[in-house]
């Protein structure tokens, strides 16, 4: 246990409620859960946060398409899909934050009011290609040319759908001023972004130079109002990133919340998918630097789950709900499979055949067989009562050594 007893704080991204949860989301959540359980069984204080990201144009449009207001729409999805999936997966999160909760909204407003007062925010105009799927302005170099029906159009490389040209009068965060400090951070703390491939990508991105970041939208109102200008709502990403701090008391006036923030912040690790790496490894630390807040210790970007060679997504109809697997194999097998079959940090392919093969070979024939043979021998030779342990011989010593090595390796 660390001497200062600082809480081990692990987070998943907050998931965009527009999608129903699929095994890609479950993969991140289970990985965070394994980390949380590991530190808890080592008697460390642990805080494990997950939650949902509920603002933005995409949610608004989907709610409208279903003929309901956005709040009703997100309430329904959170209650019927996002909270239940945590039970399905046996996840041990300590808190679940929703970005539509008053605690989050107030604290986010306080954060941006502070940056505005400090001169970190200014008003300006911006025009550029925007992907509603990503809720992000794209750089022209990020786009790919459409083919077939989409010939002549520029597409988001993640969504494969045409971008829209947006022009807005917005507020901007002076992010360009933080490029040097970010590069110094990556240099001074080589494990801040992991794995190495992710670190290299972020460094290359920041080296190309950062633009100031548009942080407000005025063309729709489904978001947190900007405290000094009610015509604008905050850009969904810079509202969402703050969840990691607001959920542990940042910006609260309450003494207990402030004490929580002191013991829990900064986060030990933000687990993210590699498609949202730049937000977490460049924008988020720049925001914290601007507010003079401590930085998280690590951003770890895992790979994608591929199904049939493509990133899984609901819009491409490759999304598999965790319950489809767990109803047959159980949550322990689900958790085991995804952490065993895929090297964490790399892309991995999911297939039912591979799941079934590992389930049979490793869990049923390996572990299951061992357990059943031991139980049968205890029954046959010792009348069903486990005998007292004898003195340790070379075999036991070797086993204890292996176990100690495994613990040290896992903690490394
Ligand atoms: Zn996109």
Taking phi first (over 0 means left), then psi (-120 to 50 degrees means alpha), and beta for anything else, what does residue 51 get? Answer: left
16 Cα: distance to centroid of ligand 1 (angstroms): 13
25, 104, 138, 280: the catalytic one is 25
pLDDT confidence of residue 313: 64
Residue 317: is its pLDDT beyond 60? no
User: Is 156 known to be catalytic?
Assistant: yes
Query: Does the active-site annotation cover 104?
Result: no
Q: How far is the CA of 138 from the centre of ligand 1 (A)?
A: 9
Beta strands in 334-398 (DSSP E): 348-350
**Three-state secondary-structure class, residue 100:** coil
DSSP helix/strand/coil, 133: coil
For ligand 1, the distance from its centroid to the CA atom of residue 161, given in whole angstroms, is 7
Could you confirm whether 25 is annotated as catalytic? yes
Active site includes 356? no
Query: In this predicted model, what pLDDT tens digit does every residue of 173-203 receive, in sequence order?
Result: 999 999 999 999 999 999 999 999 999 999 9
User: Is the CB of residue 29 less than 8 Å from the CB of residue 96?
Assistant: no
Rounded to 5 degrees, what are φ and ψ at 5?
60, 25
Q: Which of 233-237, 297-301, 347-351, 357-361 has the lowest mean pLDDT?
A: 347-351
First to last CA, the chain: 14
CA of 133 to the centre of ligand 1 (A): 4
- Residue 2's pLDDT is 43
Measured in degrees and rounded to the nearest 5, phi and psi for residue 405 equal -65, -40
pLDDT at 52: 98
Active site residue 83: no
Distance CA 393, CA 396 (A): 5
DSSP code of 43?
A: T
Beta strands in 303-342 (DSSP E): 305-307, 310-311
Cα(185)–Cα(292) distance, rounded to whole angstroms? 14
CA dist., res. 352 & res. 355, Å (int):
5
Active site residue 55: no
22 is catalytic: yes
Give the model's pLDDT for residue 252. Answer: 97
Residue 3's pLDDT is 42
Element holding 190 (H helix, E strand): none
């Amino acid at each position: 246990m660390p001497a200062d007893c600082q809480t081990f704080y692990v987070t998943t991204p907050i998931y965009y409620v527009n999608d129903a949860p699929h095994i890609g989301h479950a993969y991140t959540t289970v990985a965070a859960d394994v980390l949380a359980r590991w530190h808890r069984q080592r008697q460390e204080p642990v805080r494990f946060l997950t939650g949902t990201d509920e603002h933005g144009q995409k949610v608004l449009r989907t709610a409208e398409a279903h003929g309901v207001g956005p709040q009703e729409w997100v309430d329904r999805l959170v209650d019927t899909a996002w909270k239940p999936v945590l039970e399905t997966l046996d996840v041990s999160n300590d808190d679940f934050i929703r970005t539509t909760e008053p605690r989050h909204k107030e604290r986010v407003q306080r954060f941006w009011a502070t940056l505005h007062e400090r001169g970190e925010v200014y008003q300006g105009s911006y025009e550029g290609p925007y992907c509603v799927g990503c809720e992000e302005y794209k750089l022209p170099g990020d786009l790919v040319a459409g083919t077939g029906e989409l010939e002549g159009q520029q597409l988001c490389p993640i969504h494969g759908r045409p971008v829209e040209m947006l022009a807005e009068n917005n507020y901007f965060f002076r992010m360009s001023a933080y490029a040097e400090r970010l590069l110094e951070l990556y240099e001074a703390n080589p494990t801040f972004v992991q794995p190495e491939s992710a670190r290299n990508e972020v460094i290359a991105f920041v080296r190309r130079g950062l633009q100031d970041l548009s942080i407000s939208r005025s063309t729709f109102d489904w978001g947190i109002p900007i405290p000094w200008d009610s015509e604008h709502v905050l850009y969904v990403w810079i509202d969402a990133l703050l969840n990691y701090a607001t959920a542990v008391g940042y910006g609260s006036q309450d003494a207990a919340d402030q004490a929580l923030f002191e013991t829990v912040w900064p986060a030990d690790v933000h687990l993210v998918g590699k498609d949202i790496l730049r937000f977490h490894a460049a924008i988020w630390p720049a925001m914290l630097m601007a507010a003079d807040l401590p930085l998280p210790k690590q951003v770890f970007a895992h790979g994608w789950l591929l199904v049939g060679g493509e990133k899984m997504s609901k819009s491409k109809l490759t999304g598999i709900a965790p319950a489809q697997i767990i109803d047959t194999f159980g949550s322990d097998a689900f958790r085991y499979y995804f952490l065993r079959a895929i090297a964490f940090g790399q892309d991995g392919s999911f297939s039912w055949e591979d799941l079934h093969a590992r389930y049979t070979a490793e869990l049923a024939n390996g572990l299951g067989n061992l357990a059943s043979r031991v139980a049968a021998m205890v029954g046959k030779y010792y009348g069903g009562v486990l005998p007292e342990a004898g003195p340790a011989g070379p075999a036991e010593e070797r086993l204890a050594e292996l176990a100690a090595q495994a613990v040290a390796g896992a903690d490394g």
